[in-house]
Structure 1
Amino acid sequence: MDSQEFREFAKAAIDIIADYWDNIRTRDVLPSVEPGYLINALPEDAPEHPEEWKDVIKDFNEHILPGTTHWHSPRFHAFYPTGNSFASIVGNLLSDGLGVIGFSWMSSPACTELEVVTMNWLGKLLGLPEEFLNCSSGPGGGVIQGSASEATLVGLLVAKEKTLRRLKKNDPNIDEDLIKAKLVAYTSDQCNSSVEKAGVLGSMKMKLLKSDADGRLRGDMLKKAFEEDKAQGLIPCYVVATLGTTGTCAFDPLYELGPVCNEANVWLHVDAAYAGSAFICPEYRELMRGVEYADSFDVNIHKWMLVHFDCSAMWLKNGHDLINTFDVQRIYLDDIKTTIKIPDFRHWQMPLGRRFRALKLWSVLRIYGAEGIRRHIRNHISLAQYFATLVRADERFVVEPEPSMGLVCFRLKHGDKITKKLLDNLTEKKELYMVAGSCRRNYVIRFVICSRVITKEDVDYSWNKIKVETDIVCSEEIHTKPQIPAINHIQAATLCEKSK
């Protein structure tokens, strides 16, 4: 393919994307395909000879689009948002066009330095303490990881290595393998599955501590766990606090957990994957009170900030902790030495290679501006509150817990079984997509405001679909209840006598 064919191919693809967004409301949010549909539709072997780009576009329209779940549909209310915007698409296109691998400064100076600049911009916009920023006088700084899952694992590995170095400094003769087996990590029982998985991947026991009635991990619970484990000869090493849990968007109180961790010399990582983006709005920063105690902090910019996956922003108080953990030297990796504070990002992550992800973040920050992003987030929160008002006006439902950010959890008063039936029926019809959660041992339906283009009218559309299906499942519930057989007045009198 030469540059002229590329222009034609790329323009055709951009037209498809623009048309897709213009007509996204005409598509069911869930596809009507069965498992194996694409495996059976495509050839078993790769093509031996080059094919025309027009045939690729044709097959995309005929085979790929029909099997796509439309995450950006205004009727998609599952999980949490995934970022998307035309500005980000263009930034991604420019990154892919350059195709650089920016593991060091010399491998692509712009890749490294734009990441430093944008992470400083973003850290300031979120209100992070200055010591987390590369522009501070200290060793702190920010790096773009692939996901919050990756950032949590990076934090765990760094905490493990730092704890081991500290203990070896006190006793150079300690058995490293024995010490590693005693290290323990802690988090809430409301944590994302990726946090528990980090313990598996990092070979560290991850304890899920009981949260309070509002889904928060409290300081006294964490301190008790530390004391109990120390008494058994274990070594507390790593804590993951969540700002915006997956299930109910609860916020762990950093101002309680932080002092406990700092006193015990335990690494505190903050997983603010979804809700952290809201801190760009000053009115929500109270929810991260105590962040100054944290050692690392992560936000999935690719969730709520209009930037495409993958772009997870991680800041650390001390970048040297990363370098001490991940620095592996080779002669071919020798880079330019400079007195300017510029990180070698290959030491700040698990992979060696890295894409020019800062370009899409830079594009979005330039095109939207901080105020445009604030407007987007505030609109989502406002629409969630509007949906909660609609649900509360229907006496068949309970909204529980209180709506948080763009998430509303609700259930039918008649119990878990009928609430699950409602969700199953809605999912089967493919017009809306929501997923289940659990709150205070009740089965709840999670309704999240996700799409960039969602409006009040879209929320009304989704609510009307929910109401219609509720009418059906409630009617079925009444008709399937066992009927109490009628009794005559003599039987009734006999029963009354027996009850006495």
Structure 2
Amino acid sequence: MHRTSQRTGQSLEPDRQTVEAMGREIVSRIADYLDGLPQAPASRFGEAADAVARMLQPPPEEGGGFDRLLDAFQEAAAHGLDPSSPGYLAYFPAGGLVSSALADAFAQVHNRFTTVADLAPALVAMEHGVLRWLAGLFGLPEGAGGLVTTGGSLATLAAVVAARHDRLGEDLAGARLYVTEHTHFCVAKAARIAGLPASAVRVVPTRRLRMDPVAAARMIEEDRARGLRPFLLAGTAGTTSTGTVDPLPELGELAAREGLWFHVDAAYGGGLRLTARGRARLAGVERADSIVVDPHKSLFLSYGTGVLLVRDPVTLRAAHAGGGDYLQDLRTVGGLPDFGHDGPELTREFRGLRLWLPLHLHGVAAFRAALDEKLDLAWLAYRELAADPLFEVPWEPDLTVVVFRPRDGDEAGRRLLDRVNATGRIFLSSTTVEGRYFLRLNPTGHRTHEAELRAALELIRDGARALAG
């Protein structure tokens, strides 16, 4: 039973007693939510109409009670998907790591401006230190740096703009960049925002879901012969549909030989670089000019946490830096970046603590152990499903995504997905690969363990048996 009933609307600056009461109330509700997660549904659809109508109402003239407003949020959050649930096995789970969420709240109250190092040098150093550590994790050279963004899409945009500026200058005529059908569409979207036409994006054929380096080399050669200007090659370290890793060593060699910017989308797979298996799978990523990583995927943080790493930070600044007379009082702080010159955002919240505190609090070994467990879970799911005659499982997982389908075909797959997700106990997603419908299972959430996965597999098998009838 929650007891806080303070009406805080009369003052924008509550007194200490009220602040402490509000904090206790929120922390108590967080603890209740976490306690209930194992029994809570992973999804709840079809019942949101009343809640949606209430949430669309404008704010009142006079403020309301804090506890009632938190009640309203919790009721609204109960609809749709719960990516924090141990039964959430779709897409790429975002863990909502409690230590990171609390760190973010603490940072937001302090509200420091970290776009310019001069205004908060030690906090910028905190963020920059995590970026340097990540750059080292990926084998980038000393002096590499980057940017913490809202996610992979914004990080990709900054990378594409840097590559465009570095390799093409101001003349974009004939620009070409190379992806596959499995490359995340944020690359093509970034190219469009960066001023490139749809014809600039060339789709390279694949072999066993991976970019074919021979085909890529041939297309680059043909485009050059036509007077076009290849400038970027995009490899993927964990595709969205199947978690497949492109042949990064061969693509890195091709990009270097042809003078192309080598971009690696490791938004999903990047965190797994912490493990021995992940390092082996992502070999070749160290040749990248830019790497995108989403800690809200494989480092269990909350949505809104992406990272761009670059081999040479000068390329970011050359493409993004600007200025104005009103900035004349600011000084350069030696050794620290001004993040406003490294990407599209001139105003941004301080994002460093949401990364720094969990890594220092739990230690890197805790993340490594959790990620190793997720790799084990994926192989468990693969072995169990592949051994069941009801299912077709054509590809071994490179990382933690397992795709499968009933042997009865696409329509059976759709009915199985609907049946499983309708239980609310687990939630899967689907994809289409090589023209065929597949279900997709991804046990990457840090609250998903072997017991939860085995229960999910049993639910999937029960559904398939019932439909096979």
The answer to whether the superposition gives a TM-score over 0.5 is: yes
- 2:345 maps to 1:336: no
Contact 1:29 1:70 in 2 (8 A): yes
Q: State the match for 2:145 in structure 1.
A: 141
Query: Counterpart of 2:395?
Result: 401
Mark the CA change 1:180 to 1:35 in structure 2 (over 3 Å): closer, same or farther: farther
Please tell me whether the aligned partners of residues 159 and 308 of structure 2 are also in contact (alpha carbons under 8 angstroms).
no
Unaligned runs of 5+ in 1: 166-175, 476-500
C-alpha distance in 1 between matches for 2:227 and 2:302: 45
Structure 1 residue 428 and structure 2 residue 422: aligned? yes
Shift of 1:111: 2.4
Q: Which of 151, 154, 167 does residue 163 from structure 1 map onto?
A: 167
Q: Which has the higher helix share?
A: 1
Look up the equivalent residue of 1:18 and give its one-letter code.
A
Structure-2 residue corresponding to 1:486: none
1:188 to 180, 186, 191: 180
- Paired amino acid for 1:210: P
Shift, 1:375, TM fit: 0.5
After superposition, give the CA deviation of every residue in 1:425-477 in whole Å (9 maximum; x if it has no partner).
Answer: 222333221111233433211111032222211112111211221122112xx
Change (3 A) 1:457 1:289: closer
The one of 72, 88, 95 equivalent to 1:83 is 95
Q: Quick one: which amino acid aligns to residue 149 of structure 1?
A: S
Q: Which runs of 5+ in 2 are unaligned?
A: 1-7, 9-13
- Deviation string, structure 1 residues 320-364 (Cα, Å, up to 9, x no partner): 1111111111122232234x3211111111010122111111111
Q: Does residue 1:242 correspond to 2:236, yes or no? A: yes
Are the equivalent residues in 2 in contact too, given 1:77–1:434 (CA < 8 A)? yes
For 1:106, the equivalent position in structure 2 comes to 118
Map of 2:58 onto structure 1: 45
**Could you tell me how far 1:68 is from its partner in structure 2?**
4.3
One-letter identity of the residue aligned with 2:368: R
Give the percent of matched residue pairs that are identical in Structure 1 and Structure 2. 24
What residue in structure 1 maps to residue 190 of structure 2?
A: 198
Q: Which residue of 1 aligns with 2:203?
A: 208
Structure possessing the higher radius of gyration over alpha carbons = 1
Deviations 1:251-287 (A, max 9, x none): 1112111222222221111110111111111333122
Aligned pairs for 1:26-41 (under 5 A) are 26-34=39-47, 36-41=49-54
- What is the rounded CA distance, in whole Å, between the counterparts of 2:128 and 2:173 in structure 1? 36
The answer for the alignment partner of 2:251 in structure 1 is 257
Say which SS state the counterpart of residue 25 (structure 1) adopts: coil
Which letter maps to 1:162? D
Deviation at 1:35, TM superposition (A): 6.0
Post-superposition offset of 1:147: 1.2
Report the residue type matching 1:394 in the other structure: D
CA distance in 1, matches of 2:393, 2:50: 38
Deviation by residue 1:387-422 (Cα, 9 ceiling, x = unmatched): 222212321112221123221111111212211221
SS at match of 1:371: helix
Look up the match of 1:369: 363
* 2:81 maps to 1:69: yes
Identify if the C-alpha distance between structure 1 residues 395 and 51 changes in structure 2 by more than 3 Å, giving closer, same or farther: same
Q: Any idea what the Cα deviations from partners look like across 1:44-84, whole Å, max 9, x if unmatched?
A: 322111212122123223x3133242111111110012132
Letter paired with 1:56 = L
Deviation at 1:43, TM superposition (A): 6.0
Partner amino acid, structure 2, of 1:404: D
Deviation for aligned residue 1:119: 1.5
Q: Which residue is equivalent to 2:5? A: none
**Counterpart code for 2:43:** L
Return 288-297 or 48-57, whichever deviates more. Answer: 288-297
TM-score, normalising length from structure 2? 0.92
Q: Distance in 2 between matches of 1:57 and 1:284?
A: 40
8 Å contact 2:118–2:332 — kept in the other structure?
no
Matched, 1:4 2:6: no
Aligned residues: 452
Superposition map of 1:86-485 within 5 A? 86-124=98-136, 126-129=137-140, 131=141, 136=142, 138=143, 140-165=144-169, 179-204=171-196, 205-212=200-207, 214-334=208-328, 335-338=330-333, 340-475=334-469
Counterpart-to-counterpart distance in 2, 1:66 and 1:254: 41
TM-score, with structure 1 as normaliser: 0.86
Q: Any conservation in 1 of the 2:404–2:439 contact (CA below 8 Å)?
A: yes
Paired residue secondary structure (1:271)? strand
Distance (whole Å) between structure 2 residues aligned to residue 349 and residue 36 of structure 1 = 39
